[in-house]
Amino acid sequence: MNSTIQKSIRKQRHTLGKLIRPILGKIAAACAEAWPDRYALNDVLKKHVPELPYCAYIYALGTDAIQVSDNVNSNGSYPEHYGRNRSERPYLNSIYPAVDYLLSEAYISLLSARPSITAIQLVKRDGKVIGLIGADFDLRDLPLTQQLYDEPDQWRQMKGDPSIRGLLFQQTRVKSVLDSHIDEVMSICEELMAHRGVFHGKLHFSSSRATLWVMDDPYRYRILEVEDLIDPDICLAYPVRPYPENAHLPQSAIKKILEGFKKLRLADETIYLRSGSINIFNGLVGLNFSCDGSHYIPWDDFLDSSNAFWSGAIASTTRPVEEEPS
């Protein structure tokens, strides 16, 4: 998982913890006075659950992880969960008795089959642990998770299917229909992206097609077959639009990137570009090679003549590994 996603997750978890930890501690203190009476615990949980925002269920567990109360939420209690053994659930794998409070990693709920998270609070009496309180939260209900993280602006490589890599040198590129008309295709793609509202485009060289996303209708993609891609009349189907000011990719770089796609497609008969994509808003160039390896590269890194793609060693599609600082 990349560092940007991890940072966003840590921030969300920290904010949620600050919100619920004091309340859960108060509930645990009240439960200590009612412990271990099932119905008295139910009453305490019913009284305090409205204070715990966004809680799907709250419940009490013995130190053996056997449930000693019903499941409780703002709608009432659910007695079928009394006596349930939760010892194998992911939120109990690392809690008892190391810390007083823990917010679990996200997991898939057995009840809702949706991503959830659980807060665990130890219950103590006279300094001795007598049980635990668990509070479940459906991630869908948490307003904290509604802020989207920013995609990192860095070169990323993903390895593909090992079976394809294993047979790499037993294959050669077969000239596609798109390859035969590659100059016309590149000119039309440049027109569509630079002047006609296409903000994300992907060229599938081997299957001779393109998938396009347009700013006027961003939730649906268009598929153009090679007959469309070599016909300049296709431009008439896409209205002229000003190039967006908030695009990260300069308009002038689109042609250069498409020229780079052509070079990577035709430079080698064994390791060659199968598909390439451009997104003008995040400025990322996507590449998928015959070895099934994929790269996502900032546009300026892609156009840097010193990187491995343009060094003449086209067989090397592995990004050099940077040494860790000592």
| pLDDT of 320 | 42
The amino acid at residue 175 is K
Peptide bond into 97 cis (omega under 30): yes
Provide the CATH number for the domain formed by 3-146 in this structure: 3.30.450.20
Q: How many Cα atoms are found within 13 Å in the side-chain-facing hemisphere of 60?
A: 33
* Position 256 pLDDT exceeds 90: yes
- Tell me what the mean pLDDT of segment 70-98 comes to: 85
Pull the structure tokens for residue 200: 């994300």
Name the band, by pLDDT with cuts 50, 70 and 90, for residue 241: very high
Decide if pLDDT at 77 tops 80.
Answer: yes
Report the chain's C-alpha Rg in angstroms: 28
Q: Which residue has the tokens 């040494």?
A: 323
**Does the predicted TM-score (pTM) go above 0.75?**
no
- Supply 152's token pair: 């990192």
Cβ contact 213:198 at 8 Å: yes
More confident residue, 10 or 88: 88
End-to-end CA distance of the chain, in Å?
22
The answer to whether residues 80 and 161 touch, using CB atoms and an 8 Å cutoff, is no
The answer to whether 198 touches 219, Cβ cutoff 8 Å, is no
Q: How confident is the model at residue 89 (pLDDT cuts 50, 70, 90)?
A: confident
Q: Is the pLDDT of residue 277 over 80?
A: yes
pLDDT category at 100 given cuts 50, 70, 90 is confident
Q: Which residues contact 110 (CB under 8 A, 6 or more apart)?
A: 89
- Give dist(CA 182, CA 188) in Å, integer: 10
pLDDT at position 254 is 97
**Four-point Cα dihedral 178, 182, 185, 191, nearest 10:** 160
Per-residue pLDDT band for 236 (boundaries 50, 70, 90) equals: very high
Query: Can you read off the two tokens belonging to residue 179?
Result: 């390859």
Q: Is residue 326 scored above 50 in pLDDT?
A: no
Look at residue 235 and tell me whether its pLDDT is greater than 80. Answer: yes
Tell me which of 170 and 231 has the higher pLDDT: 231
Query: Could you give the residue range(s) of every CATH 3.30.450.20 domain in the chain?
Result: 3-146
pLDDT of residue 107: 87
pLDDT digits (tens, 9 = 90+) for 39-59: 999 999 999 999 998 899 999
Q: Averaged over 272-295, what is the pLDDT? A: 89
CA–centroid distance for 204 within its chain: 24
The model's pLDDT over 166-223, given as tens digits with 9 standing for 90+, comes to 555 557 778 899 999 999 999 999 999 999 999 999 999 999 999 999 999 999 999 9
> H or E segment at 166?
helix 162-166
Gap between the Cα atoms of 279 and 283, Å rounded = 6
Q: What is the mean pLDDT of the chain?
A: 85
| Whether residue 257 has pLDDT greater than 90 | yes
DSSP 313: -
